[in-house]
Amino acid sequence: MMTELGIDIPVSTRLALKTRAHGVELSTHLQEHIIGRLRRSYADVFSMDRPERLWGPPVISAESMRRTGYGRSFPQLLGTVHTDLEERELPGERTGDLAGPESAAGTQELMLVASACHHVYPLFQGKEITKAASVMVEGRCFRNDSPNETGRLRSFRQFEVVHVAAPPQCAHWREDSLTRVEKWLSDLGIQVSKEVANDPFFGRGSSLMRSVQRKQLLKWEFRADLGDGVKAIGSSNYHKNHFSEAFEFRGPSGAELHTACIGFGLERLVLALVHAHGGNLDSWPEAAGGGSGPTYAGAE
């Protein structure tokens, strides 16, 4: 198969081209065609929530991430725009210096986004939220995962839907969104298992946080066969008041709000589709890019 640039790409690698950096790949027109269709179909799944739709950049304010304590919980995944950190923790996080310390290179202002939903919570900072809100966000993410795990991308795309509401309504949306997503994946022909999971918390107190997360069913993972093993393709997370406390947003009369998110790795979804339906797009569901394949001469 020839690309627009005239590069002959073997069938086995026609979704993406590897680069010299592990876990960093270039996407082909074929993969973008499939992702374009997926984008339309997941937007349909959540249209009843009337979400605001946003596309996030690959970087985020380090101050926002300090507020959430991300660097304390997941230092092993951190990617900062400055790469001269002496400690693998966001400077200022431990001391509560949210603006970050001055360094020779200036304030450490930006870091790479680990989850697309992290763009959303700061938007509500300090606000009174008078009715439930849904935000759909797609963004490029980075996690400094181990180079030893083959096939794991460090730079990847996620789409997520975030819901903000009073605790009972948020819990209800969480359950309802799980049901809707299970049907969506089934319609796409992807066989998934839904499993209780935990985030890869790091350091002191991490085993307690993992077990609380599991016992309270705060994280579900959707796992599917990607051809080289069964892996998580998405997850549903219930944060309780973690983000509403961090960004100080509340309901009417100061009522507590909860947040939940559900999200998928787009490149992993494509791999699950390839495993489920094979290399010939003609036999794929239309919602996943089946039927008319991409034309290499120009736009679809």
Q: Where along the sequence are the contacts to Zn ion (CB under 5 A)? A: 115, 117, 160, 261, 263
Q: Which two tokens stand for residue 232?
A: 């998580």
Specify whether the CB–CB gap between 49 and 176 falls below 8 A. no
Q: Which is nearer to Zn ion, 263 or 294 (CB)?
A: 263
Minimum Å distance from CB 6 to Zn ion?
39
Distance CA 164, CA 52 (A): 12
Q: Which is nearer to Zn ion, 163 or 231 (CB)?
A: 163
Q: Which is nearer to Zn ion, 92 or 263 (CB)?
A: 263
Specify whether the CB–CB gap between 154 and 143 falls below 8 A. yes
Minimum Å distance from CB 40 to Zn ion?
21
Minimum Å distance from CB 239 to Zn ion?
8
Minimum Å distance from CB 20 to Zn ion?
30
209 sits in which H/E element: helix 206-215
Specify whether the CB–CB gap between 160 and 262 falls below 8 A. yes
Minimum Å distance from CB 115 to Zn ion?
5
Q: Which is nearer to Zn ion, 87 or 176 (CB)?
A: 176
Q: Which is nearer to Zn ion, 58 or 285 (CB)?
A: 58
Distance CA 147, CA 149 (A): 6
Specify whether the CB–CB gap between 56 and 138 falls below 8 A. yes
Q: Give the phi and the psi of residue 157 in degrees, each rounded to 5.
A: -110, 145
- Residue 246 sits at the vertex; the CA angle it makes with 236 and 91, to the nearest 5 degrees, is 105
CB atoms near residue 160 (< 10 Å)? 24
Minimum Å distance from CB 131 to Zn ion?
21
Q: Which is nearer to Zn ion, 49 or 160 (CB)?
A: 160
